[in-house]
Structure 1
């Protein structure tokens, strides 16, 4: 796909006339087009496409479709169908009534280009600037809160985790050293690790599950030792799949010397595994972590949204920050305020919940000219849990 940037198209006369007949008062989609225009231009996406090849579908239209898709909670297939059949979408995208749009896979390819070029935030900033140009953005009073983001993964138990991690490592090695791998690993491994571990019939009894975990642990150490002992294969240990194997085995297994000098491999007790912020959940997504917030448990990430909340103005999101699921909210507050100030969006009042509030944060916010407002966290000291003790509520400054 190549990009041949073209001037923004005017809304076709027939499309505009029919929309005015059917939607005389308009709707959200047509009003967005009338108020903001096309918002994006092909030139903004020039770095995402090569200069030669089959012409790509106009990226400014795909950017708008991505926004409409989010507004109406649509899948890629549904969004592509709306481009073909919805008059208000044709109006906003400046399409002729007969235009059949594009195949739904074009949307995922467009998003992949944005992610690969780290240009996803460009869509957000461009639309935010359009709101600023129309005097809709008044950052005087803003609030921040976080929510969970699920990783693209099936939740694995410990047995599934170690089995799938070893299978992924073997699949990776099979792409680079297929012949050597056949010579190194026993024939029985092909039946054990030839398909995803959750697709197999895992044992149900605890002794059988422990025996299988022991076998998988020994197989993993055998594979890593074989690579380590061959100087020609040593560099393979730095491949991401093998690095993940080393990390998971370090977290899930321990090796002990018996009285006869024989190394024994044991699955670690649950309380002996690393804390959640460093513990791996899946070999398919190295950054995903397990976390809990109040009554919600999940594996993935955490996203922090900041929005304008002045009663007289619209609710516009001004900042988005994604962090590891285990990172405390209080550690993100400084970053959020610094980035808002850098984009000329400094709030006069910053509303947060108790997770973002700290004494240092109050002082630092005041130095930035920001009034940080939120509830204090409940005390977890032993004094607060003892009837005759003096906790913080007994003192007034």
Structure 2
């Protein structure tokens, strides 16, 4: 008679000698720190989008109390969003091997019988469903967004927003229950204690790697992802190390306009006929009415310069570029606003979520906030927003609207 292989519900099915409370606890403590940073930087990213300027910038349906506005996102230092979003995305990618190893380490518990032993146990398993499902959803949609691969239904912004709250609520509950035990396990093992717990295989297979070796393997995977993705936050040689991102691995070009773009003019549906000097006009509306300006009119106004980066929600950014154009607060004054108000910026772009974007009064009033006409001493290229684009310190790239057609000061609709 042949021996029957144990079912996954049998402890004998899971024979890896690597599994155990120490291995799981170490991974859990790493995730405790890393996911906390991810959530905080995610909230900062939410604040940077000016969600109080609804319904223009934030169209998340029914967000209620979850959409609380932390604070008015500052314009100082000018590299703030570049830092916070770079940390958010790079750390998320780096934690993927840790998350997968943690899920692998506890998979026997998924098949433990009976599936529900009490009401308390049922609630715990439900929280784990939200924790595991929410974690996989957030990491998966985040990676797909970085790759500009929108295969999921609906908009990334509200999906990731609600997914984050579900995941983090379950994560906090799980951490409150498990962190004390994880800390005790790590301390006991450091003191020379024996491995114990329901994750230890009763009949372990011959070891091919030690638990510490497995941790080094996970750490090596995280390091590999870090060095092949972090470079997209820089220009020059470091960008060529970002092999796993769509905005890395190769230089975007040369010359004054040779820095990274997210969407080209062709992708956005911008035609040369729309941006010719004899056809393009900027419509500026405010308290005293409406004026229409040609590119030549703008060039005759007082021009100012600012060194600012472009930083995108996907985590990539450029080094500081030298922009030159008309201050937004001067355009506000042109239509009767001595004190800069909020502004609605509209693009020639025919499609896309941010063909309309709003900026707060303090962003408009910052002397470095420009309607840029030039970059690095030359006219804007079509892909960088010719004939005019907004550039604001510390703002997400999508709020630095390209191919600007209209500015409406003081009234957001």
- Tell me the TM-score normalised to structure 1 length: 0.24
RCO higher in 1 or 2 (8 Å CA, sep ≥ 6)? 2
Larger radius of gyration between Structure 1 and Structure 2: 1
- Tell me the TM-score normalised to structure 2 length: 0.23
